[in-house]
């Protein structure tokens, strides 16, 4: 369970300060599927990055399953991320110099899983995502939809409880976007907590709960 | 993680070749300069260690060669009788000359026909030998008479497997007699002893011409070294003398001058210590200039290499960001970057070391004994320098990106997901 209490994120600018998140409190239950909406610059990504341990709040407390994440040092935070969170990005964030197979394999290497086990898991996830034939190709040789499937396969391979997606359909046409959303729904059904940032009402409709951000505040 | 490093390396082959070439060039140049510096120091050290009478009390003579040879030899002979003088002699390093081909045959017999290097040896009279601290592993040094066709030799210790002390080797040869006819003659070599490995023999010729022979201070005692004792019937050599009774130095030097004057020989002498001072003085400016160049080359190479290394890693920052997002921590990322750099610098180090070693051996060596010196200097000084330089580059090019990545947020590394 995610518990955010009075989270503040302040950026120092040349002319004063800017509150990207302005006292946000939010609870997210395990197994929930949540959509985060809001105008550009409202602080959605900032919120997601804090939940995922990619960024630290300036103020406030973030607890995950009663462990205080907001106080963690770098190494603990990295390990929290490794063992708990998987990200899916709008621009896929695949490493272009590595094959799809190798990209999907990365989180497993980080988790020190044996090679044979890795092979088994990567194969399975690629199969589920329907891109097993693309395993040996490089990201640039794939379509946007296929790349996002690969990115999701990577997120699934890690087998983490928390899947965070920052506009996963933003770079895709609406048909492909629907496919991807179906996948997320399936993932959520398998028991994982899914948080999706989106501008798309249709996407938000797939989720059990929608929160709206405006100028760093939940409205 | 090994797979990541491997892929990373394979992906920057050209880059790695560039790094290796830059380093190779830099290391070769620095080595050359270093070598110049060390070899002259090495020579001085060797001489200090090996002069029986010490550098303060050993003098070399220079006189007008064109004058009367006979009178020179007479002077040398008379000098030997001065009370309190240690030894007056000459010892020079020679390449095989025709008259000594027989000795070459011994070496051939011993080394096998494949050995195509010319025989080098020290040619000396017993006094010349006395001026160096010769250590024998077996045998003796004395002043027994020997003639033109009986030569006493000291061989490198490896020859002990083949010969023993007092063995005589007779090699038939021929010579021109006084009537101009070719007559057969037996050349006899008597083995007087075996030289201990690492023993130094001073080349008095080199010592007398220090300005020209900065790195020509030979060392005997390898498997191939050979010292031949010969009657001092050859002239125009670099003679040195050592003073035993140091309380009488002034007196002895005066006596020598008197003898020279009496024999009408123009002669001057200088102690080895003094000549070291002069030599150092004359090379000081040069070596300062060399040190500047050396520093410049080193800094340039280190900078270029670090730049290549660091920019390569930073150019791929999004990749490292993704690795962070995939769950790798600072330690893992440091390991990946450090290991990758280590492998590159390791390859660079090994290649540079091999190339430099052979380059030195080929550029700076005419004689076998020089190779021994070159390899010794390489092992004692240059190898360490190369390793230190490479380690420095490794450290800088690993720590810089690692520190940078630690400070940056993962989202910024990936390049932002809003784009
Ligand atoms: N490193 C930073 N320094 C200063 N300001 C920042 C920084 N990162 C984000 N911001 C600001 O914080 C605010 C929230 O940014 P955030 O990326 O969370 O917005 P968002 O809701 O994800 O927008 P979008 O829909 O365009 O992705 C923005 O106004 C942005 O300009
Ligand atoms: Mg955003």
Per residue in A88-127, pLDDT tens?
A: 998 889 998 899 999 999 999 999 999 999 999 999 999 9
Q: Angle at Cα B382 formed by Cα B377 and Cα B388, nearest 5°?
A: 150
Domain at A127, CATH number: 3.40.50.300
- B325, B327, B418 member nearest A93 (Cβ): B325
Q: Between B291 and B390, whose confidence is greater?
A: B390
Distance from CA of A176 to the nearest CA of B (A): 19
Q: pLDDT band at residue B356, thresholds of 50, 70 and 90?
A: confident
pLDDT at B363 > cutoff 80: no
Best of A44, A54, A90, A198 for a ligand 1 pocket test (most atoms within 8 Å of beta carbon): A44
Give the closest ligand to the alpha carbon of residue A40.
1
Which burial class, exposed, middle or buried, applies to A80 when counting CB atoms under 10 A from its CB (0-12, 13-18, 19+)? Answer: middle
Q: State the pLDDT at residue A42.
A: 93
Residue in chain A closest to B12 (alpha carbons) equals A97
Q: State the pLDDT at residue A210.
A: 94
Tell me if chain A has a CB within 8 Å of the CB of B324: yes
Same domain, B238 and B101: yes
Same domain, B149 and B11: no
Q: Of the candidates B228, B244, B260, which is a domain's last residue?
A: B244
Residues of B in contact with A111 (CB under 8 A): 327
Residues of B in contact with A89 (CB under 8 A): 414, 417
pLDDT at B212 > cutoff 60: no
Domain count, chain B: 2
Query: What mean pLDDT do residues B301-309 have?
Result: 87
Q: How far apart are the first and last CA of chain A?
A: 22
Strand pairing class (A33-38; A193-197) = parallel
Q: Of the candidates B218, B244, B270, which is a domain's last residue?
A: B244
Give the residues across from A2 on adjacent strands.
A28, A64
Q: What is the pLDDT of residues A116-142, one digit of tens each?
A: 999 999 999 999 999 999 999 999 999
Query: Domain containing B202: what range?
Result: 85-244
Same domain, B136 and B196: yes
| B115 is a domain residue | yes
Same domain, B392 and B292: yes
Domain count, chain A: 1
Query: Domain containing A190: what range?
Result: 2-218
Residues found in chain A: 219
Q: What is the pLDDT of residues B277-300, one digit of tens each?
A: 887 777 776 667 777 887 888 888
Q: Of the candidates B198, B223, B244, which is a domain's last residue?
A: B244
Q: What is the pLDDT of residues B18-45, one digit of tens each?
A: 888 888 888 888 777 777 677 667 777 7
Contact yes or no for B151/B189 (Cβ under 8 A) = yes
Q: State the pLDDT at residue B224.
A: 60
Q: What is the tally of helices (H) and strands (E) in chain B?
A: 13, 11
| B326 is a domain residue | yes
Same domain, B39 and B173: no
Q: State the pLDDT at residue B9.
A: 85
**Complex ipTM > 0.90:** yes
Q: Helix, strand, coil shares of chain B as percentages rounded to 5?
A: 55, 15, 25
Which burial class, exposed, middle or buried, applies to B47 when counting CB atoms under 10 A from its CB (0-12, 13-18, 19+)? Answer: buried
| B68 is a domain residue | no
Q: What is the pTM of this model?
A: 0.71
In terms of Cα–Cα distance, which of A32, A27, A30, A29 is closest to A185? A32
CB pairs under 8 A between A and B: 78
pLDDT at A13 > cutoff 60: yes
| B65 is a domain residue | no
CB B328 to CB A82 under 8 A?
A: yes
Best of A14, A16, A45, A211 for a ligand 1 pocket test (most atoms within 8 Å of beta carbon): A45
Q: Closest ligand 1 atom to the C-alpha of A213?
A: 21
| B169 is a domain residue | yes
Query: DSSP 3-state assignment of B300?
Result: helix
Q: State the pLDDT at residue B106.
A: 66
Query: What mean pLDDT do residues B354-378 have?
Result: 75
Distance from CA of A27 to the nearest CA of B (A): 24
Mean pLDDT taken over chain B: 79
pLDDT at B218 > cutoff 80: no
| B319 is a domain residue | yes
pLDDT at B203 > cutoff 90: no
| B261 is a domain residue | no
Same domain, B218 and B340: no
Residue in chain B closest to A158 (alpha carbons) equals B326
| B153 is a domain residue | yes
């Amino acid at each position: 369970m995610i518990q955010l209490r009075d989270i503040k994120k302040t950026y120092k600018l040349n002319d004063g300060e800017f509150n990207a998140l302005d006292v946000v409190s939010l609870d997210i239950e395990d197994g929930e599927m949540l959509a985060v909406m809001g105008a550009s610059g409202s602080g959605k990504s900032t919120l997601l990055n804090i939940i995922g341990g990619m960024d630290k709040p300036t103020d406030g407390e973030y607890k995950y399953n009663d462990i205080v994440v907001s106080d963690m040092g770098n190494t603990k935070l990295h390990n929290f991320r490794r063992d708990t969170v998987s990200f899916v990005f709008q621009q896929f964030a695949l490493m272009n110099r590595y094959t799809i197979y190798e990209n999907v394999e990365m989180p497993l290497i980080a988790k020190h899983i044996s090679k044979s086990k890795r092979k088994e898991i990567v194969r399975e996830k690629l199969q589920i995502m329907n891109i097993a034939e693309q395993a040996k190709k490089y990201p640039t040789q794939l379509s946007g939809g296929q790349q996002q499937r690969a990115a999701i396969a990577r997120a699934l391979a890690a087998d983490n409880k928390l899947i965070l997606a920052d506009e996963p359909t933003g770079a895709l046409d609406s048909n492909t976007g629907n496919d991807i959303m179906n996948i997320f729904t399936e993932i959520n059904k398998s028991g994982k907590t899914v948080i999706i940032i989106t501008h798309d009402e249709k996407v938000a409709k797939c989720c059990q709960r929608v929160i709206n951000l405006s100028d760093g505040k939940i409205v | 993680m090994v797979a990541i490093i491997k892929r990373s390396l394979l992906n920057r082959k050209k880059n790695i070749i560039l790094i290796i070439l830059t380093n190779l060039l830099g290391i070769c140049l620095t080595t050359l300069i270093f070598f110049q510096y060390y070899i002259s120091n090495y020579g001085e050290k060797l001489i200090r260690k090996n002069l029986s009478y010490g550098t303060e009390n050993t003098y070399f003579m220079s006189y007008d060669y064109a004058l009367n040879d006979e009178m020179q030899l007479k002077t040398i002979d008379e000098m030997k009788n001065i009370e309190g003088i240690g030894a007056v002699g000459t010892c020079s390093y020679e390449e095989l000359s025709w008259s000594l081909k027989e000795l070459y045959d011994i070496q051939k017999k011993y080394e096998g026909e494949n050995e195509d290097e010319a025989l080098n040896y020290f040619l000396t009279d017993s006094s010349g030998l006395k001026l160096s601290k010769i250590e024998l592993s077996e045998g003796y040094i004395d002043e027994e008479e020997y003639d033109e066709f009986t030569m006493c030799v000291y061989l490198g210790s490896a020859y002990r497997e083949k010969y023993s002390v007092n063995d005589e080797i007779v090699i038939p040869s021929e010579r021109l007699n006084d009537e101009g006819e070719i007559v057969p003659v037996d050349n006899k070599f008597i083995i007087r002893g075996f030289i201990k490995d690492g023993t130094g023999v001073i080349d008095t010729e080199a010592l007398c011409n220090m300005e020209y022979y900065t790195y020509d201070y030979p060392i005997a005692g390898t498997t191939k070294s050979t010292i031949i004792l010969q009657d001092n019937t050859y002239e125009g050599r670099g003679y040195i003398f050592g003073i035993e009774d140091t309380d009488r130095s002034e007196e002895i030097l005066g006596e020598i001058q008197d003898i020279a004057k009496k024999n009408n020989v123009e002669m001057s002498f200088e102690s080895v210590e003094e000549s070291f001072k002069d030599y150092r003085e004359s090379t000081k400016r040069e070596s300062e200039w060399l040190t500047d160049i050396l520093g410049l080359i080193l800094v340039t190479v280190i900078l270029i290499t670090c730049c290549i290394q660091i920019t390569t890693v930073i150019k791929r920052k999004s990749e490292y960001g993704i690795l962070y997002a995939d769950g790798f921590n600072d330690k893992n990322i440091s390991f990946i970057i450090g290991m990758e750099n280590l492998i590159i610098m390791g390859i660079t180090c090994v290649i540079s070391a091999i190339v430099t070693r052979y380059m030195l051996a080929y550029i700076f060596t005419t004689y076998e004994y020089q190779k021994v010196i070159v390899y010794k200097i390489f092992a004692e000084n240059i190898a360490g320098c190369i390793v230190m330089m490479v380690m420095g580059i490794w450290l800088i090019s690993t720590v810089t990106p690692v520190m940078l990545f630690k400070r940056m947020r993962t989202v910024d590394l990936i390049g932002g997901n809003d784009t």
